[in-house]
Amino acid sequence: MRADRRLVELLQELRVLQTGVQIVFAFLLGVAFTPRFSGLTDAQQDIYVATLLLTVIAAAVLATPVALHRGLYRHPGKERIVTVSARIAQAGLLLLATALTGAVLLVLDVVLGAAVAVAITCVVALVFTALWFVLPWAVRRATTGDRS
């Protein structure tokens, strides 16, 4: 039953993330059809394409635990499904953080210029790293003595 509860919690968390991914994806889709898009530099268009693709891949990866749960419904290896799904979700978080950072870079580059955009985007990337990856690792390590 513990694995069932953990899987339900994970799927609920992924539901929240999926909404964010969908919002970013919708924004990016709309950008390509604005009159200003043709005025983007080659570098800005490259950032746009990379960010769009990262967003699509993040959506696919973050939906994978749901598909895994559906495909293996009533499968006896629930604990393994939860473990694999949690690792997949972490990969999805990394992809989403990268996509969001790319979107910030694109918008700030257009609005403020490349130098300021890169500086601010580096701070944004550090915030994602600290909050989404370092903080959970540090809390786990402090509470369980886990050294991994």
What is the model's pLDDT at position 104?
A: 97
Q: Are 47 and 109 in contact (CB under 8 A)?
A: yes
Compute the average pLDDT of residues 56-74: 84
Of residues 71 and 135, the one with the higher pLDDT is 135
- 92-136, pLDDT tens digit by residue? 999 999 999 999 999 999 999 999 999 999 999 999 999 999 999
Domain containing 26 equals 2-144
What is the model's pLDDT at position 73?
A: 67
pLDDT above 70 for 90: yes
Of 117, 63, 115, 118, whose CA–CA distance to 89 is shortest?
63
The total number of structural domains in the chain stands at 1
Of residues 132 and 20, the one with the higher pLDDT is 132
The pTM (predicted TM-score) of the whole model is: 0.85
What is the model's pLDDT at position 148?
A: 56
What is the model's pLDDT at position 14?
A: 81
